[in-house]
Structure 1
Amino acid sequence: MDLKHSAGGAGDNSETFIATSKSTDMITPKEKEGKGVKAVGGPNPPAEGYKVYARRWAVLILFVFYSSSNAMQWIQYTIINNIITRYYGISDKWVDWTSMIYMILYIPLIFPGSWFLDKVGLRITALVGIVGTCVGAWIKVFSVDPSLFYVSFIGQSIVALAQVCILSLPARLAAVWFGPDQVSSATSVGVFGNQLGVAVGFVLPPMLVPNSPDLETVGSDLQMMFYMVAGLTSILLVLMVIFFQDKPPTPPSAAQEAAQLLESSGAEQVSFMQSLKNLMTNRNFIFLLLSYGINVGVFYAISTLLNPVVLKYYPGHEVDAGRIGLSIVLAGMLGSVVSGIVLDKTHKFKETTLAVYALSMVGMWIFTFTLDTGHIAVVYLTASLLGFFMTGYLPVGFEFGAELTFPEPEGTSSGLLNASAQTFGICFTLFYSELFTTFGDIAANITMAVMLIVGTIITAITQSDLRRQNAQVPAASGAGNP
């Protein structure tokens, strides 16, 4: 695929989006097509349509694998918690910290990270992230010795730092590259990358590092796993440098054109701090910050503590613990795609968000009271149900946030949502761990379910202020005007 852009757009497959159309795949009528394409070469898109480029899919797919390479390392240690503690001779609390370090480092860096994304754009931000992910993965290659857990933790911390250059990108990438009736689906695919990585992180370590009584065998297996991850991230680094692009030659929608005009206008350009102030004084966005943080924080807590919870009822089933985690994430991937399609087709952001949130809460209650049935297949089923809605909520929250905060940069709103998720994730993980140790899994899971009830109520009182959708109205009403 030729990803280089020629000045006139020749040789690059593209689709023309009609401002009043409900589909980005509808082609402009032939009598307007020539005029429209010609106008696209100028500084502004034509009134009758906006152009989307075929290369957007290559950029999105590259981002999916890039995001996956980082996310797969988040749960890499905790899903084989009992094996890691025995090999390195450390407490399980230290293993939990290999997951929580992702959350802790993200919180103070979200503001400089969002500022960096706004200043340098998608390409540079993504390249910084893949370099950090690759360097951290290679450091872990040299940590395979019972006395070198600190080296592994350093590598994990560098990978966690790189996450700052990933989590805020899906909504921004979708808005910059995709038309208005594909942007929600594109965001869901971008979030899908993170979920894919978590899925691999759940299933691969238990398979590559089985619970062998011989520590030398465990060390050899760990070495192989670390080499595989480092090799993969190195290949992705090369591909990102060659193919990942910042933005298309022309904006794909009226909303994106307006956003780019604001960015390029010195008189109207909003500073990063002013943008933050606008977001933090947006009542509906504050409600979304709280509800989003609760939902994703519960998911982080369950994912981090999944190994000991499953092993409590099914001893010796380390591989099943990983596969249950995989089931949660795979179901969540499906939920993300379904949610994205529903949003693109209906534009019912508030209604979709509330429905998915409420069903996440119901799924948590079902999961809580089916762990002790004695049939691990039931756990697979209920965990998948929970994952479909809870993980499927991620892109829905991003898109609802982008709607509530337009024309503020999507990277900033997404970054704040992620910061909220990380904050709640740390608190809930520590709280869940303490409850699990002291009172057992039922008390811990019920507490998380109650938190989801609170989140559902907050979502219900959030108003549907769809500012980005409203930005499309002038374009639609002005279509065909000179």
Structure 2
Amino acid sequence: MLCADCSCVVCVCVCVCVCMGIAIGFLIPPILVPNVDDMNELAHHIRIMFYISAGVATLIFILVVIVFQEKPEIPPTQAQAQARNLSPDEYSYTASILRLLCNKPFMLLVVSYGLNVGCFYAVSTLLNRMIIEHYPGEEVNAGRIGLTIVIAGMVGSLICGIWLDKTKTYKQTTLAVYLLSLIGMLVYSFTLNLGHLWVVFLTAGVLGFFMTGYLPLGFEFAVELTYPESEGTSSGLLNCSAQIFGIIFTISQGKIIDKWGTLAGNIFLCIFLLIGTVMTGFIKSDLRRQKANLQAEVQTVSVSTSVCAT
């Protein structure tokens, strides 16, 4: 069986792969769909982009059907190993959800995670609009800035994951990265209108480094707080929260930009990042998985000692 800490490596790899997909999404569309006035030509380019997307999605679906196994032969984590020892009658997904909803530290994390990632979704969705408002005609560079955010985020995910694996400081690291995300958002907001694209590239990269770097931290902290519940259940709730807040923030920020401009829209997100930072500070660091690992090590040492004594 893989050690429980190996899930951190898996989580980081998943986050990096997701970021690669997002990076391609920022880079390719501005190239495939140029800014032209002819609606027929524009529709033609959009149609080609959609055909390409459909083809890639179909290929991935076929690969999933052919290649993917229902479950790995060796349980990837201790939680999965325990779940396999239970009969279908003993395990209830609904009961697991209810237990997680009653877990106060985890619910604080669910909301704070949703606030952070929801802000990231809103910035990513409205990035082209914000860039074009201050830098007309820079559609391609808007895509490149989005690419910069994601690439910096990939680096951030790797570094944060490695740091977390070495130090096991789950709450401290999560809180620090959350605070730095807030600072990055503030700097990005107040430098967007300076008229220098290189400044936007720089501040957007810093923002992406911390905001995307927060993703594996949130998942791993959730696993610690909810052990021995399935990691898939806790991750699903985190993603659900992120999607809900992402929709709310994207719509709200869009309307704020329409009425008061991009700075007001970004300050709107900064307020919620501040709320999320405070909420993260109130999360009780109940590292259940680490405690279980420690108990297992103690039992192993006791058994070894007894065998040697015999």
Amino acid at match of 1:240: V
Over residues 271-323 of structure 1, what are the superposed CA-to-partner deviations in whole Å (9 max), with x where a residue is unaligned? 22211111111110111011111101111111111111111110011111111
* Partner residue, 1:186: 10
Q: In the alignment, does 2:210 pair up with 1:394?
A: no
> Which residue, out of 222, 233, 248, partners 2:72?
248
Which residue is equivalent to 1:264? Answer: 87
Name the counterpart of 1:469.
Answer: 290
**CA distance in 1 between partners of 2:76 and 2:129 (Å):** 47
State the 1:253 CA deviation. Answer: 4.9
Query: In structure 2, what is the equivalent of residue 334 of structure 1?
Result: 155
Q: Indicate whether 1:199 and 2:23 are aligned.
A: yes
Q: 1:207 and 1:412, CA in 2 relative to 1: closer, same or farther beyond 3 A?
A: same
Matched, 1:448 2:272: no
CA deviations on 1:67-103 (whole Å, 9 max, x unpaired) are xxxxxxxxxxxxxxxxxxxxxxxxxxxxxxxxxxxxx
Unaligned runs of 5+ in 2: none
Deviation at 1:198, TM superposition (A): 1.5
Letter in 2 for 1:285: F
CA distance in 2, matches of 1:222, 1:307: 16
Equivalents in 1 of 2:111, 2:117: separation in Å?
10
Q: Structure 2 vs 1, CA of residues 407 and 339 (structure 1 numbering), >3 Å: closer, same or farther? A: same
Q: What TM-score, normalized by structure 2, do the two folds share?
A: 0.92
Q: How far 1:376 sits from its partner (Å)?
A: 0.6
**What residue is the counterpart of 2:225 in the other structure?**
404
> Which of 337, 355, 364 pairs up with 2:176?
355
- Could you tell me whether the CA contact under 8 Å between 2:128 and 2:142 is conserved in 1? yes
The 2-side partners of 1:356 and 1:316 are apart by: 34
What is the CA–CA distance in structure 1 between the aligned matches of 2:260 and 2:77, rounded to whole Å? 53
**Could you report, residue by residue, the CA deviation over 1:178-200 in whole angstroms, capped at 9, with x for unpaired residues?**
53332112101112222222111
Whether the 8 Å contact between 1:402 and 1:413 is mirrored in structure 2 is yes
Q: CA deviation at 1:468?
A: 1.5
Confirm or deny: 8 A CA contact 1:335 1:388 kept in the other structure. Answer: yes
Query: Which of 109, 115, 124 in structure 2 is aligned with 1:303?
Result: 124
| 2:112 aligned residue | 291
Alpha-carbon spacing, 1:226–1:393, altered in 2? closer, same or farther (3 Å)? same
* 8 Å CA contact retained: 1:184, 1:340: yes
| % identical equivalent positions | 49
Letter of the 1:398 partner, please give it.
F
Q: Does 1:315 align with 2:139?
A: no
Question: 1:234, CA displacement in angstroms?
Answer: 2.6
Q: TM-score, normalised by structure 1?
A: 0.60
In structure 2, what residue type is equivalent to 1:367? Y
Q: Which has the higher helix share?
A: 2
Unaligned runs of 5+ in 1: 1-49, 51-177
Compared with structure 1, are the counterparts of its residues 255 and 276 closer, same or farther at alpha carbon in structure 2 (3 Å cutoff)?
closer
Aligned-residue offset at 1:207? 0.5
Question: Is the contact made by 2:7 and 2:77 (CA closer than 8 Å) also made in structure 1?
Answer: no
Equivalent position of 1:125 in the other structure: none
Once residues 291 and 434 of structure 1 are traced to their aligned partners in structure 2, the CA distance between those partners, rounded to angstroms, is: 23
Residues 1:238 and 1:270: Cα distance change in structure 2 (over 3 Å): closer
Range 470-479 or range 414-423, more displaced: 470-479
**Pairs within 5 Å for 1:27-426:** 50=1, 178-261=2-85, 263-264=86-87, 266=89, 269-426=90-247
Letter in 1 for 2:125: T
Residue 434 of structure 1: which of 239, 252, 255 is its match?
255
Q: Distance in 2 between matches of 1:179 and 1:218?
A: 52
RMSD: 1.8
CA distance in 2: counterparts of 1:403 and 1:289, whole angstroms: 13
State the number of aligned residues: 303
Out of 242-251 and 298-307, give the one that drifted further. 242-251
Q: Deviation of residue 336 (structure 1)? A: 1.0
Shift of 1:478: 2.9
Q: Is the 8 A contact 2:7 2:76 kept in 1?
A: no
Structure with more relative contact order (C-alpha pairs < 8 Å, separation 6 or more): 2
